[in-house]
């Protein structure tokens, strides 16, 4: 579905043409390579540039970036959208390595912040400088090695038992179950308890509102007139209000937890001691509770939605590849045989190379954060000689980079987990070749957590159940800042005999 249609498109079109004319009179782009202008995608229009293309549905845009990558290979090319600063798309891992290594030259920038402000506010996704440092430090404390062990071995094990119970019920009554919902419930319970000491569910008003607001925010990056059109989207402002109220509730709950007697902490079990440790760290290091609330909401979005979506795409792909399913089974059986039984700490990224490879390969084809946008804080030159004036927008499309034939070979579009295995071991790629978790100083803080949660969940569920799709055909993603599956993933589930 296109983002805008009918008469609205006509009015916006007229407005756009006016803005373009003014802009082209006032501003001439100066992005160059070796003194020459950069090549543009073949369908670039005079004056409108790639503006119309960006109004199209998100999935169509992914395909467009992928076809541009096929046309240009690693060559950096120019894109232009009316009302926006001049921009480039990079596909060469060398250029991305430069961006990751020179974080101070490429900020989130006004382009990103202005669009995501309503949703992310002062949170880490939007923050630069000291505000970013304080939130990152609190996150590092939450995700330290001993906490991760409790999170995986105790909390996840408990919530996975609940998931298994639910699926057992579905296997008995033969009803269809939406696996995306199942995974979202699992990660909501996990993040809610461990990070905030709260019970959170996938159908909570906050979650539904956040999902909707994320979709509208994503469309802002495609619609150059978002600041006008969004004024009339009342459901969006309602959702934003609900999100803010929930942020305040998280902080209020943490403050009241904090004022409980310190002595009671000594009596708690390991899970009790870790519960709420992210929000505690945030409150300890940031005096302003408004910022703490934003930080808490950002962490929730970063940690739970991405992981649930990644698991959904993984199960979708495995259901379509019986050979991969069989290989997962062999790895599970091998580990169980080695250890004499099924235990919660048996399956981890380090012990289960093939399961980790399956998850990583699904992330390659369906990266939960499919685009990244930065803005040049100062004029700079990329390793390939592209000169970017201050303020230029720099985009990389992880979705397209992950399908590059140059990086991944002729079978880049195929789901082939074996590409990650060498001599029986999982071999990772560098962040600039495989930017699914970002890189440099802003490498995703939850990478290890996501991988550990995924491996355990896959092992537990594939050991117990077989899954088959309840609907035919390919699935695609819906509009969002991340990559939720449109319509969820309806499946039938059976216990394995």
Which chain residues interact with ligand HEM by CB under 6 A?
124-125, 136, 139, 299, 302-303, 306-307, 310, 363, 368-369, 372, 436-438, 442, 444-446, 449-450
Please state the closest distance from residue 483 (CB atom) to ligand HEM, in A: 9
Please state the closest distance from residue 118 (CB atom) to ligand HEM, in A: 17
Task: Pick the closest to residue 17 from 55, 53, 52 (CA basis).
Answer: 52
CB of 242 or CB of 452, closer to ligand HEM: 452
The reply to whether 397 sits in an annotated binding site is: no
Burial label for 14, CB within 10 Å (0-12, 13-18, 19+), is exposed
CB of 16 or CB of 444, closer to ligand HEM: 444
Task: Pick the closest to residue 450 from 143, 124, 180 (CA basis).
Answer: 143
Please state the closest distance from residue 124 (CB atom) to ligand HEM, in A: 5
Please state the closest distance from residue 480 (CB atom) to ligand HEM, in A: 13
CB of 33 or CB of 108, closer to ligand HEM: 108
Are 355 and 331 spatial neighbours (Cβ–Cβ below 8 Å)? yes
Please state the closest distance from residue 310 (CB atom) to ligand HEM, in A: 4
List of residues 6+ apart from 144 with CB closer than 8 A: none
Are 456 and 164 spatial neighbours (Cβ–Cβ below 8 Å)? no
CB of 49 or CB of 109, closer to ligand HEM: 109
Please state the closest distance from residue 52 (CB atom) to ligand HEM, in A: 26
CB of 20 or CB of 148, closer to ligand HEM: 148
CB of 229 or CB of 277, closer to ligand HEM: 277
CB of 79 or CB of 363, closer to ligand HEM: 363
Task: List the Cα angle 98/100/102 in 5-degree steps.
Answer: 65
Please state the closest distance from residue 387 (CB atom) to ligand HEM, in A: 24
Residues flagged as binding site for heme: 444
Residues flagged as binding site: 444
């Amino acid at each position: 579905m296109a983002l805008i249609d009918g008469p609205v498109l006509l009015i916006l079109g007229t407005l756009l043409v006016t803005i373009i004319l003014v802009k082209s009179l006032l501003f001439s782009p100066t992005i160059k390579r070796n003194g020459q202008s950069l090549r543009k995608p073949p369908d670039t229009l005079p004056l409108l540039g790639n503006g119309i293309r960006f109004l199209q549905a998100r999935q169509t845009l992914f395909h467009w970036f992928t076809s541009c990558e096929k046309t240009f290979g690693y060559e950096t090319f120019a894109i232009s959208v009316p009302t926006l600063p001049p921009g480039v798309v990079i596909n060469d891992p060398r250029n991305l390595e430069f961006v990751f290594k020179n974080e101070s030259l490429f900020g989130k920038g006004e382009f990103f912040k202005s669009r995501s402000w309503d949703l992310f506010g002062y949170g880490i996704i939007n923050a630069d400088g000291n505000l970013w440092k304080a939130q990152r430090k609190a996150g590092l404390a939450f995700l330290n090695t001993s906490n991760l062990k409790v999170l995986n071995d105790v909390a996840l094990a408990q919530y996975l038992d609940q998931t298994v119970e639910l699926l057992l019920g579905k296997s008995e009554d033969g009803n269809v179950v939406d696996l995306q919902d199942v995974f979202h419930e699992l990660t909501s319970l996990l993040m809610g308890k461990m990070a905030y000491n709260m019970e959170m569910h996938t159908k909570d008003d906050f979650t539904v509102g956040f999902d909707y607001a994320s979709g509208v925010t994503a469309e802002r990056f495609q619609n150059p007139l978002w600041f006008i059109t969004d004024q009339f989207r009342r459901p969006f402002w309602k959702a934003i209000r609900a999100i803010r109220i929930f942020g305040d509730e998280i902080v209020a709950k943490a403050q009241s937890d904090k004022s409980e007697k310190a002595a009671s902490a000594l009596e708690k079990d390991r899970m009790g001691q870790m519960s709420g440790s992210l929000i505690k760290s945030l409150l300890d290091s940031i005096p302003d509770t408004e910022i703490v609330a934003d930080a808490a909401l950002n962490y929730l979005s970063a940690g739970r939605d991405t992981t649930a979506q990644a698991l959904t795409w993984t199960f979708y792909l495995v259901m379509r590849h019986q050979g991969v399913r069989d290989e997962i089974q062999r790895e599970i059986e091998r580990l169980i045989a080695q250890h004499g039984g099924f235990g919660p700490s048996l399956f981890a990224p380090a012990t289960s190379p093939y399961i980790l490879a399956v998850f990583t390969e699904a992330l390659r084809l369906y990266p939960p954060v499919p685009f990244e946008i930065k803005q040049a804080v100062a004029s700079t030159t990329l390793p390939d000689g592209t000169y970017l004036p201050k303020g230029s927008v720099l985009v990389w499309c992880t979705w397209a980079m992950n399908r590059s034939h140059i990086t991944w070979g002729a079978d880049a579009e195929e789901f082939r987990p074996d590409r990650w295995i060498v001599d029986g071991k999982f071999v990772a790629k560098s962040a600039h070749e495989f930017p699914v978790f970002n890189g440099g100083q802003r490498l995703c803080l939850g990478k290890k957590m996501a991988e550990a949660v995924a491996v355990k969940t896959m092992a537990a569920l594939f050991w117990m159940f077989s899954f088959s799709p309840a609907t035919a055909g390919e699935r695609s993603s819906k509009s969002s800042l991340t990559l939720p599956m449109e319509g969820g993933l309806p499946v039938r589930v059976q216990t394995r005999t």
